[in-house]
Amino acid sequence: MASGTCRTPFCSAAPLSLCARRASQADIPSGRAWTSQALLTRRRGQAVSGVAQAGAPFRPRRRACAMPCRATRGAARLPSLVAAESRRSRPELRLSRAQRAMSSREVELGFAEEAVARWRLSREQFPSKVGGRPAWLGESGLPGPVELRCGVCGQPCAFLLQLYAPLPDRPDAFHRSLFLFSCRQPACYRPIGQAPGSLRVFRNQLPRKNDIYSYEPPPEEPPPEEEPCAILQLKCGMKLCKVCGCLGPKACSKCHKAYYCSKDHQVRDWKAGHKLSCTQSEKMDIEIPDHTFLFPEYEILIEPEEMKSSNVDETEQEDLDTNKDSASADNTYEAAESLDENMLETMAKHETEDDKIFQKFKERTSLAPEQIIRYCRDGEGPIWISGENIPSETEIPNCVCGAKRVFEFQVMPQLLNYLKVDSLGESIDWGTVAIYTCADNCNLGNQYTEEFIWKQDISSSV
């Protein structure tokens, strides 16, 4: 395959993608198989002309700034054209995901990209995406309006993102997705630590053979007929909210054709145009107004994390570090002769432990500053942005099944820029959001199981 970026899903314990796992199934019937090419061939762009030569790996040019503060959201978080195109022009990513399945647990990064082919974000394509309406995986036990209400203000939460993350060694999790919801009220993000309901995450999984999806891989071509702008009914007949796409048990008492998750969303839709279209049934499923509630929609593209390469070995690096420290000490000593004791004490306290952790965060994300997701289930833990408010093991509650929870992925502050939530006053904000899921990946009858979230903010001292 010439060039492009991997669209395969996030992987868990062994980072084996869905397409590679399907290729390794011994029970694939005759005919078109779920090969490693099935999803890898779905690419949305060509290589940047003159950027990468055939056979030569292309290292994307990243911006140097990885500062996750509000002042830099408009610059540091916006992906450049070169970086965006580079994720579509990396030949090594096309052929190594199955091979990487045998390696140790590695970190995979998620990047938000404009969805060129919107049909790829439909639920039949098992997408990873940001914003819009959720592309529900299973149809049984969807989280209801009560579960999706903010625990702080009581308002309905909006769909934030979903990750398709199947487990290669679990037949009951051949399909597996994680769904993250968030409140739209900035004041609800003031509490730190265990998210008090302003952020909610749910896990759902299905075996390969199920009543919803084909046993065969999803089609490689767009559907012959244009799909409606919003799916408001599941295959089982269950109705979805016209505003947010979540479970909609409430129907309009006048037309009985529009469904909502809450009175709040019914009022919002009424003001947005349902007042006029309520009696015009032919426009009901065609015209979905902008309710100014959903987050902007993007596809999430995936890359393995690239660590900084060095031309010197560990011994040489240690020598360089030693010389650097020695030179720094000499300079500090010379400068100290002209400073009083109080100034020296101030300098000594300047570099706190919090500064070191924040600096480590910046260095680790410097090669890919526009990353919005870091995924590594039960492997490397999250990279914290501050030395404050780091959870201890006892602060991560066990799953409802009794098993421990393990770290699965974290949401980076870069995502906030794509959500267009900045304002002159208070805004939705976080330093990083860490998601912990059941270590046993319990299967409660294919229901949606709520998992645990820990929110950390940027330290005020940074």
Residue 13 lies in a domain: no
pLDDT value for 116: 84
Per the structure, the complete domain to which residue 152 belongs is given by 18-23+33-225+292-307+369-379+418-456
pLDDT value for 321: 55
pLDDT value for 125: 93
- Does one domain contain both 177 and 260? no
Residue 181 lies in a domain: yes
Residue 202's beta-bridge partner residues?
179, 450
Q: Which residues contact 19 (CB under 8 A, 6 or more apart)?
A: 8, 34, 35, 36, 37, 38, 39, 40, 97, 217
> What are the residue ranges in the chain where pLDDT is below 50?
1-5, 7-8, 12-85, 87-104, 310-313, 315-316, 320, 336
- Does one domain contain both 239 and 258? yes
Residue 131 lies in a domain: yes
pLDDT value for 278: 84
Tokens 């942005």 found at? 385
- Does one domain contain both 201 and 52? yes
Residue 200 lies in a domain: yes
- Does one domain contain both 185 and 239? no
- Does one domain contain both 197 and 296? yes
Q: How many CB atoms lie within 10 A of CB 276?
A: 11
Residue 394 lies in a domain: no
- Does one domain contain both 205 and 67? yes
pTM: 0.74
- Does one domain contain both 208 and 155? yes
For the chain, how many structural domains are there in total? Answer: 2
Quick: pLDDT tens for 245-264: 999 999 998 888 889 999 99
